[in-house]
């Protein structure tokens, strides 16, 4: 691990770039060259997509489409290929920038923007639109929301929904996604949220870091210098200490997986022998992980301790 100057997280810049009832009635629409999509949309839903470009109808369209999006897997290509739709969603996002600092965002505006972000998450997770979504650098439009520190609920919803879009991207295990994200400031932004965010935001941000680490290029990037490794390791350590006072099994699960992946890099493994928190060594979380549903987390923790030399290889079958 060689050293280099640390790079701070960027400041928000206004110029940079959330059980669903089924719809009934109506016919179906086709898109593109006239051929039917894999699952056709009811006419009412297709009309809602068209309403996104009408500023007077957009609020209702955003709300209804965000409710229905999981019922129709092919909504994403229609959103992406419909005239003016993505521009309308980006307009909703950009219009919030002036309200971030000083904080003047209302709950109503936050909910409206979160509905737009939910539709972008739909586009980000679809295999037919994900690459175009990345090529257009649309995730960068979300970074000012991730960089906010205001603790009001409406800002927390905005951060959490933005994290959901990035989480949907990394969940696909697409190496191109990791390549794109490593060229941006997503790691310091996630680390800041892991350090100071709510439990749910911390969990999603840690999941994003976990998925980056699970990609070979992501692991190599974070372990390339001592500063990068130590920055990630310090935040993970602080989170472990916080879990002693406020336990969260799901957050602990992602932390253990991050540590385990780091231990698979030789240089990081050597460093972890001295910097891993004692709370992961001394059964502090044994009670939290005793349930059978946490068997995988227990396995990861034991493998981590084995990798750094705390547990003899002979004890592999125990626990």
Backbone angles phi, psi at 152, to 5 degrees: -60, 150
- What's the pLDDT at 1? 61
pLDDT in tens, 294-311: 999 999 999 999 999 987
DSSP letter string over the chain? -B-----PPPPP-TT-----PPP-SS-EE--TTSPPPSSPEEHHHHHHHHHTT-TTTHHHHHHHHHHHGGG-TTHHHHHHHSTTHHHHHHHHHHTTGGGTTTT---HHHHHHHHHHHHHHHHHHH-TTTHHHHHHTTGGGGGHHHHT----SHHHHHHHHHHHHHHHHHHTT--HHHHHHHHTTTHHHHHHHHHHHS-HHHHHHHHHHHHHHHHSHHHHHHHTSBHHHHHHHHHHHHHHHHHHHHS--HHHHHHHHHHHHHHTTSHHHHHHHHHHS-GGGTTTTTTTTT-SGGGHHHHHHHHHHHHHTTSS-GGGGG--
Rg value, the chain, Cα: 22
- What's the pLDDT at 141? 98
- What's the pLDDT at 15? 29
- What's the pLDDT at 73? 86
Q: Which residues of the chain have pLDDT under 70?
A: 1-40, 312-319
- What's the pLDDT at 139? 98
Q: What angle do CA 268, 173, 131 make, to 5 degrees?
A: 125
pLDDT in tens, 116-158: 999 999 999 999 999 999 999 999 999 999 999 999 999 999 9
């Amino acid at each position: 691990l060689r050293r280099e100057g640390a790079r701070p997280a960027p400041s928000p810049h206004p110029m940079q770039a959330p059980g669903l009832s089924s719809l009934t009635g109506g016919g179906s629409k086709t898109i593109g060259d006239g051929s039917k999509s894999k699952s056709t949309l009811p006419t009412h839903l297709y009309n809602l997509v068209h309403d996104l470009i009408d500023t007077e109808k957009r609020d209702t369209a955003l709300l209804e489409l965000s409710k229905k999006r999981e019922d129709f897997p092919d909504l994403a290509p229609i959103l992406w290929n419909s005239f003016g739709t993505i521009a309308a969603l980006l307009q909703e996002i950009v219009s919030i920038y002036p309200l971030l600092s000083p904080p003047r965002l209302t709950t109503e505006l936050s909910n409206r923007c979160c509905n737009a972000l939910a539709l972008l998450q739909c586009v980000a997770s679809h295999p037919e639109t994900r690459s175009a979504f990345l090529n257009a650098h649309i995730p960068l439009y979300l970074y000012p929301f991730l960089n906010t520190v205001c603790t009001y609920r409406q800002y927390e919803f905005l951060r959490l929904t933005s994290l959901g879009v990035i989480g949907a991207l990394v969940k696909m295990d697409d190496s191109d996604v990791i390549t794109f994200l490593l060229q941006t400031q997503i790691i310091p932004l996630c680390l800041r949220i892991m350090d100071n965010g709510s439990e749910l935001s911390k969990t999603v941000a840690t999941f994003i870091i976990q998925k980056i680490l699970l990609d070979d290029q992501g692991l190599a990037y974070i372990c390339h210098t001592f500063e990068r490794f130590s920055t990630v390791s310090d935040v993970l350590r602080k989170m472990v200490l916080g879990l002693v006072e406020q336990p969260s099994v799901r957050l602990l699960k992602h932390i253990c997986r991050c540590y385990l992946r780091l231990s698979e890099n030789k240089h990081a493994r050597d460093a972890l022998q001295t910097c891993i928190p004692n709370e992961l060594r001394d059964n502090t979380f044994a009670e939290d992980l005793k349930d059978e549903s946490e068997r995988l987390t227990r396995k990861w923790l034991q493998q981590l301790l084995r990798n750094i030399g705390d547990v003899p290889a002979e004890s592999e079958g125990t626990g």
